[in-house]
Chains A and B, each alone.
Chain A
Amino acid sequence: MAWYQTEIFWVIVKVAVILFVILTGGAYYTLAERRWAAFFQMRLGPNRAGFWGLLQPLADGIKFILKMETFPRNADLFLFMLAPVISTVTSLMLWGAIPFTPIIELPEAAQKITGSKSFILQVSNPNAGVLYMFAVSSLAVYGILIAGWSSNNKYSLLASVRATAQMISYELSLGLSIIPIILMTGSLDLYTIIETQKNSWFLFTLPGFLAFWIFLVSIFAESNRMPFDLAEAESELIVGYHTEYGGFKFAFFMISEYMNLITLSLLAAILFLGGWTLPDFISSAISNVWLQHAAGIGLFLLKAFFFVFLFVWVRWSVPRFRYDQLMDIGWKVMLPASLVIVFIAGIYVYLK
């Protein structure tokens, strides 16, 4: 067996491809956000660097790298440097479990090169994929908490305490909102969850439909986006936990935020909108298997893109909640509602 036929080599290739996609995706999401924001606000937005401003992320990146590194006085330097790393690494790790493609049967020629019969663009497939996603995404709290604590700035500290409490509170309803899906699928495996939705998305089942709204609100809160972006409330806390960060350290926070948004969009498309599955009437209409795969993956990305756009759309159309209102919604509305939905889902599955 040649070196290129080993599994580890192909895992490294997949990691490289996914890292490239996620980092460019995060960078270009910043551009998209700025262009779309400009569209909502009747401005032009960044359109000078390259066609349609397409080189803007590159220019931003160069600027971030060349900026002078500054550190606040009396800051805990080790933790101060560690925080953006934690944020970025956790949001990168999330992409390891996402199945971007179905299992593709490879033709003879390709089998000789890869040394395996099938291919799937998924770095690893933990058999509790959903749990892995939520476990890793809750680790992101540490990045924010440590950033606020080590900055030696009261505003940062206040913002990080807020963000931590908010993320922990909304993780409850987020976790409960996917239980109906797990009940209906009987599996925690992301691949199985997608496959189950082949002919009917979970969005179109009763418990799935109810849980979807809880899930939607919770991912907005979980990613600290408007209307729940209290951790970055400009008029109260300057820019929140990354007030003291500049240059590339800030870029780390920023890109991890946008990568998280893309991950959550993909997750929403996987859990509720059926991922890359095609309903039978479409897949029977397309004769070529490769075209079927292409259509499925294209649809998957389109569904995720809708959520990517939704994040921006909502951000520029609503004001933010006050902190006590946010906690009220989290504990008095979202949590009881998601418990009720779990109950409904139980009855639904039992009756089916």
Chain B
Amino acid sequence: MREKETTLYLGPQHPGITGNMMVKLKVTGDTIVRAETHVGYLHRGFEKLMEVRNWMQVFPIVCRICVPEPDPNEENLARAIEILEGREVPERAQYIRVMVLELARLASYLLWFGGQSGSAGLYTMPQWSVGDRDYILDLFEELTGGRVYHMYIWAGGVRRDLPEGFADKVLRVMDYLEKRLKHYDNLMLDNSIFQKRAQGVGVIDREKALDWGIVGPPLRGCGFKHDVRIDDPYLVYDKLQFEVPTETGCDVWARALVRRREFEQSISIIRQIMEKMPGGEFYNKVPNPLHWKVPAGDVYVKTESARGEFGYYVVSDGSDKPRRVHVRGPAYVHGITLLEHLLQGANLADVSFIMNSLGTCPPEMER
């Protein structure tokens, strides 16, 4: 007897998904037969908007591309312009940029901690981790003036120098977060129900992981040691010591462990930066933004975001506006093709669980 299929529309408004997108599910009972992702609910046309704005005006746009983690976008655009112009970045600015990127990674992982366990029904975790994320947002607020969108990293450096006593505050927050990690482990990762839910769920085919273009924690959870910070170091990452954790499980549990261990690595990176940060200029002056013309050329830059390799392809025709900016985010691969593959045969209860483990970010899928 053939079981009858039912169509379930998960989204565009549903408490279990990470943003406005829709997953059309064909289910028999609790098992998903087919999943089809429908995006387009958040399309804001950023790439087109960038083409009609001055170079300086593009910076406030790019940080809106991924809400939980805006800084890799700014870093990408800034570095693309720097490469096209051949502009030097003072060493201090490079250190500050790495600090901002790592803080953003921590903030993003804290959100993930919440999302991952919230989708399994553990609602205490989001309250804790999002509450702790606020300490990082406070740091950002003091440093940049903005809590979520910073517009801090500019071509040629950063917008402001560190405020007085900022390093101490950062270190204090790092100490606090390190202490809190133990509580997170107790509540979430050591919880046998969570382990039962995560192990063997959402298994990526290891053979196809590279073909599909998976990046970031999902790829490292498959045992591939792929990290832009190591493979193609940018800024001062080659002067810092850190590991790239990998797991071999390919499932949600492996991804959770990878993120959990990377969290510690990021804390250690920030501590090293605070030790090594040199003095000097933080900013290499750019021309008047209204008459700022970037030499013609094209460049692909990439940054390791919390969800994986984040790439920008920037084309300039020598005018005061970019000719084309193409954003290649990890969420597009993870959230559309990979999600559809992983949901086939999965349990209905695991849809948002798998979605969170992949770092799906609907605003980034649609730029």
Chain A: residues with CB nearer than 8 A to chain B? 37, 40-43, 154-155, 158, 226-227, 229-230, 233-236, 238, 316-325
Contact call B118/A235, Cβ cutoff below 8 A: yes
- Give the complex CA separation of A316 and B15 in angstroms: 18
Q: Which residue of B lies closest to A318 (CB)?
A: B193
Contacts of A316 in B (CB 8 A): 123-124
Distance to closest chain A CB from B112 (angstroms) = 14
Distance to closest chain A CB from B123 (angstroms) = 7
- Give the complex CA separation of A316 and B127 in angstroms: 11
Distance to closest chain A CB from B252 (angstroms) = 12
Known: A230-B349, A235-B353. 12 other contacts (CB 8 A): A43-B131, A155-B8, A226-B121, A229-B121, A233-B121, A233-B349, A236-B16, A236-B352, A319-B193, A322-B350, A323-B30, A323-B347
Taken residue by residue from 82 to 119, chain B's Cβ proximity to chain A (1 for < 8 Å, 0 otherwise) reads as: 00000000000000000000000000000000000111
Chain B interface main SS type: helix
Contacts of B347 in A (CB 8 A): 322-324
Q: Which residue of A lies closest to B8 (CB)?
A: A154
Q: A41-B128, A318-B191 are in contact. Are A238 and B14 (CB under 8 A)?
A: yes
Q: Which residue of B lies closest to A322 (CB)?
A: B349
Chain A interface main SS type: loop
Contacts of A154 in B (CB 8 A): 6, 8
Contacts of A324 in B (CB 8 A): 30, 347
Chain B: residues with CB nearer than 8 A to chain A? 6, 8, 14-16, 30, 117-124, 127-128, 131, 187-188, 191, 193-194, 196-197, 347-353
Q: Which residue of B lies closest to A43 (CB)?
A: B127
Q: A41-B127, A42-B131, A235-B16 are in contact. Are A321 and B193 (CB under 8 A)?
A: yes
- Give the complex CA separation of A234 and B123 in angstroms: 10
Instruction: State the 10 A-B residue pairs at the shortest beta-carbon distance, nearest first.
Output: A235-B16, A320-B121, A41-B127, A319-B120, A319-B122, A235-B119, A235-B352, A319-B121, A322-B349, A316-B124
Contacts of A226 in B (CB 8 A): 121
Q: A318-B191, A319-B197 are in contact. Are A234 and B127 (CB under 8 A)?
A: no
Q: What are 26 A-B contacts defined by CB distance under 8 Å?
A: A41-B123, A41-B124, A41-B128, A42-B131, A43-B131, A154-B8, A158-B348, A227-B193, A233-B121, A233-B349, A234-B16, A235-B16, A235-B119, A235-B352, A235-B353, A236-B351, A238-B15, A317-B122, A317-B187, A319-B188, A319-B197, A321-B193, A322-B196, A322-B349, A323-B349, A324-B347
Q: A40-B124, A41-B124 are in contact. Are A319 and B350 (CB under 8 A)?
A: no
Contacts of B127 in A (CB 8 A): 41-43
Q: How many A-B residue pairs have CB under 8 A?
A: 80
- Give the complex CA separation of A229 and B349 in angstroms: 12
Distance to closest chain A CB from B215 (angstroms) = 25
Q: A227-B121, A235-B119, A235-B353 are in contact. Are A322 and B6 (CB under 8 A)?
A: no
Contacts of A323 in B (CB 8 A): 30, 347-349
Contact of B122 among A230, A318, A325 (CB under 8 A): A318
Contact of A236 among B122, B124, B191, B349 (CB under 8 A): B349
- Give the complex CA separation of A155 and B6 in angstroms: 11
- Give the complex CA separation of A253 and B314 in angstroms: 56
Contacts of B187 in A (CB 8 A): 317
Contacts of B123 in A (CB 8 A): 41, 316
Q: A318-B122, A318-B191 are in contact. Are A235 and B15 (CB under 8 A)?
A: yes
Q: Which residue of B lies closest to A316 (CB)?
A: B124
- Give the complex CA separation of A234 and B10 in angstroms: 12
Contact call A42/B353, Cβ cutoff below 8 A: no
Contacts of B351 in A (CB 8 A): 236
Q: Which of A42, A234, A319, A322 has the most chain B CB atoms inside 10 A of its CB?
A: A319
- Give the complex CA separation of A325 and B187 in angstroms: 20
- Give the complex CA separation of A317 and B193 in angstroms: 11
- Give the complex CA separation of A155 and B30 in angstroms: 11
Q: Which of A41, A226, A227, A322 has the most chain B CB atoms inside 10 A of its CB?
A: A322
Distance to closest chain A CB from B134 (angstroms) = 11
- Give the complex CA separation of A318 and B196 in angstroms: 12
Contacts of B15 in A (CB 8 A): 234-235, 238
Q: Which residue of B lies closest to A230 (CB)?
A: B349
Contacts of B353 in A (CB 8 A): 235
Contact call A42/B128, Cβ cutoff below 8 A: yes
Q: Which residue of A lies closest to B355 (CB)?
A: A235
Contacts of A229 in B (CB 8 A): 121
Contacts of A322 in B (CB 8 A): 196-197, 347, 349-350
Contacts of B119 in A (CB 8 A): 235
- Give the complex CA separation of A350 and B3 in angstroms: 50
Distance to closest chain B CB from A45 (angstroms) = 11
- Give the complex CA separation of A317 and B117 in angstroms: 11
- Give the complex CA separation of A236 and B119 in angstroms: 8
Distance to closest chain B CB from A223 (angstroms) = 15
Contacts of B348 in A (CB 8 A): 158, 236, 323
Contacts of B14 in A (CB 8 A): 238
Q: Which residue of A lies closest to B348 (CB)?
A: A236
Contacts of B350 in A (CB 8 A): 322
- Give the complex CA separation of A230 and B350 in angstroms: 12
Contacts of A230 in B (CB 8 A): 349
Contact call B352/A319, Cβ cutoff below 8 A: no
Q: A41-B128, A42-B131, A236-B16 are in contact. Are A319 and B194 (CB under 8 A)?
A: yes
- Give the complex CA separation of A154 and B196 in angstroms: 27
- Give the complex CA separation of A65 and B205 in angstroms: 53
- Give the complex CA separation of A43 and B126 in angstroms: 12
Q: Which of A236, A316, A325 has the most chain B CB atoms inside 10 A of its CB?
A: A236
- Give the complex CA separation of A287 and B12 in angstroms: 68
- Give the complex CA separation of A233 and B15 in angstroms: 10
Contacts of B8 in A (CB 8 A): 154-155, 158
Distance to closest chain A CB from B35 (angstroms) = 14
Contact call A320/B120, Cβ cutoff below 8 A: yes
Contacts of A321 in B (CB 8 A): 193, 196-197
Contact call A235/B124, Cβ cutoff below 8 A: no
Contacts of B30 in A (CB 8 A): 158, 323-324
